Chain A
Amino acid sequence: MVPIVKISNLDKFFGRLHVLKNISLEVEQRQVVCLIGRSGSGKSTLLRCINFLEEPSHGTIEVDGIKVDGGEKGAYHRQLVHDVRLKTGMVFQEFNLFPHKSVLENVIEGPVIVKGMDKKKAIELGEENLDRVGLLFKKDEYPNRLSGGQKQRVAIARALTMEPRVMLFDEPTSALDPELIGEVLNVMKKVATEGMTMIVVTHEMGFAREVADRVLVMGDGELIEDAKPADLFNNPQDPRTKALIDRYRTGEQ
């Protein structure tokens, strides 16, 4: 099977800081991949390189057949990056809903402005996705009237309404009060079972164990482990993975 995301020999520098070191990775269609690792290990940077929120220094990103070399410039490169962004949806830790737009306006902004979709059709699609995350009844509210969990669910609906091939999540529950985490994880689970390809940076080990097909572990800018969740949690290979899992275990108790 052709992988839907293929990262080859990816390097990323911030000034002199070597944050991603020669990373190669393939993600199959419909796979749910969780990315864990210590703070500062480069998880966010890797995720943000996939949709070019960070421009890779070297290496190639390929999403759904669109192959982009990192570190290039010019109109052709910008066009390729734009195409990749249309294939990917992103959900941020801080939600980043547009505060001056209602929930529905947030959700249809992308299709209407970026894809030039007919507004009526976009509203139909948007309402469908708001329904998917269980928030259709809030469509006329403004974001400041929503709880954190509701905001994140709207953000997921906003990304889904662009009909991406891959969804990227960067710690989607880390900014939430503990009692609101569950509703967001449930929506993510639902999106996963509906067949979406997902790459999720997370500290939610329960989610990783239950939903992920693969768990990747990052350490110091490298992928140090890539395994099925059961294998990884029961039999971690790298001492850094062991330390990570032990910390979560004690944290859970």
Chain B
Amino acid sequence: MNLFKKGTDEQKSQADLLFEAQQRKQNLFRTQVALSWVFLLLFLLFLFSGLEIKSGEGVTSLSAWSFHIITQNNRQVREKIEKPLASFPFGLPNEGLDLKTIVVDGEFIKENIDFVAEGIIQTIRISILSILLAMLLALFAALGRLSSNPFIYALSTFYVSLIRGTPLYLQIFFFFLALPQLNIVLTGLWAGVLALGLNYGAYMSETFRAGLASVGKGQREAAIALGMTPAQTMRRIVLPQALRFAIPPMGNDFIAMTKDSALVSATGFVHELMWRAQKVGRAEFRNMEALVMAAIFYWIMTLLLTSLQSRLETRLSKGDR
């Protein structure tokens, strides 16, 4: 009895050791990944830092470029100005090297960041309206695919095929530019929402269909045996399970949609992030700064939504199934 007990103790501690070693390895990997991210971010910052490194004829110097507002002929203009930072008494021979990174117009960003940021609200508004429309259409299209009525089946496959067979960009213009020819004039916002909703609805119908298919036949039979009508079975038993299955991929679709909403800017009448960035960028020929601003906003939005989504997913997986 004693011997046996000792044996299992030793075995257990060995398993623990192995487990700990594995854990350490995983932690190390995660730390290294995090450090690499920091390095990549710093490198990106450096690329846009406006630093210049010159090395030649035995001298190496480091300087920083930036834009400053100066008055010239009674007019305020922004001028690129170099500011020496350091110089060292050694360097490469002859021509040497002159490394200059991108100079970002900080003054321009300061002046315009509020205007561009306001676009976030519109971007989110379009995305939410569109995803709601898309979910509704996807649900009907998925149910239509299960229908035994030939016309309804045809309607849903026709819709999905037509939308998937044409570019989203074209669809947006169709609703904004082509419909007025038929005396249907939509605001830019609604044209965009309709186009995005129809488009994503077609793609998401596949997700919903998979969700519906994931609910076993036995679930329907159990509901029917209890005396539920087909509608009750669908609403109370099948749909809740199908939707739960479809939520994670729908989160991905929503995130993708916040970015595709940028295409709506092409109509010129929806003042979302992308439109605002283009407008200020073109006005002062500061497209790089404007687009970098928009890119950062989109990126942050995506990061926030992704973390929200993963939190939602863990919450869902905790419940049942």
Contact = CB atoms under 8 A, between A and B. Distances in A.
Contact of A114 (B218, B219, B232): B232
Contact residues of A: prevailing secondary structure: mixed
Given A92-B221, A113-B236, A143-B320, A100 B241 contact: yes
A150 to B, nearest CB: 15
Interface in A96-140: 96-100, 109-110, 113-115
A103 to B, nearest CB: 11
Nearest to A51: B225
17 contacts: A53-B224, A53-B225, A85-B225, A85-B226, A86-B227, A89-B225, A92-B221, A97-B222, A98-B223, A100-B241, A100-B319, A100-B320, A100-B321, A110-B226, A114-B232, A144-B321, A159-B225
B21 to A, nearest CB: 32
Interface string B201-237: 0000000000000001011011111111100100011
A207 interface: no
A114 B227 contact: yes
Most buried by B among A85, A86, A99, A115: A99
Nearest to A53: B221
B320 A82 contact: no
A96 B241 contact: no
A109 B225 contact: no
Interface of B: 216, 218-219, 221-229, 232, 236-237, 240-241, 244, 319-321
A115 B228 CA distance: 9
Given A86-B227, A92-B221, A113 B240 contact: no
Q: How large is the interface on A (under 10, 10 to 19, 20 to 34, 35 or more residues)?
A: 20 to 34
Contact of B222 (A86, A96, A142): A96
Given A92-B222, A96-B219, A100-B244, 9 more contacts: A53-B221, A82-B227, A90-B225, A96-B222, A100-B241, A143-B320, A144-B321, A155-B222, A158-B226
A211 interface: no
A99 B320 contact: yes
B217 to A, nearest CB: 9
A144 B236 CA distance: 19
Contacts of B224: 53, 85
A155 B225 CA distance: 12
Contacts of A100: 240-241, 244, 319-321
Given A85-B226, A109-B236, A114-B226, A99 B321 contact: yes
Contacts, number: 63
Contacts of A199: none
A64 interface: no
A200 interface: no
B226 A109 contact: yes
Interface string A141-176: 011100000000001001100100000000000000
A99 B320 CA distance: 6
Most buried by A among B222, B224, B236, B240: B222
A94 B218 contact: yes
Nearest to B244: A100
A110 B236 CA distance: 11
A144 B241 CA distance: 14
Given A53-B224, A113-B232, A96 B218 contact: yes
B234 to A, nearest CB: 12
Interface centre among A92, A96, A109, A159 (most CB of B within 10 A): A96
B218 A142 contact: no
A228 B241 CA distance: 45
A46 to B, nearest CB: 15
A115 to B, nearest CB: 8
A95 to B, nearest CB: 8
Contacts of B216: 96
A99 B241 contact: yes
A144 B320 contact: yes
Nearest to A48: B221
Contacts of A89: 225
A51 B216 CA distance: 20
Contacts of A158: 226
B319 A142 contact: yes
Contacts of A82: 227, 229
Contacts of A144: 320-321
Contacts of A114: 226-228, 232
A113 B320 contact: no
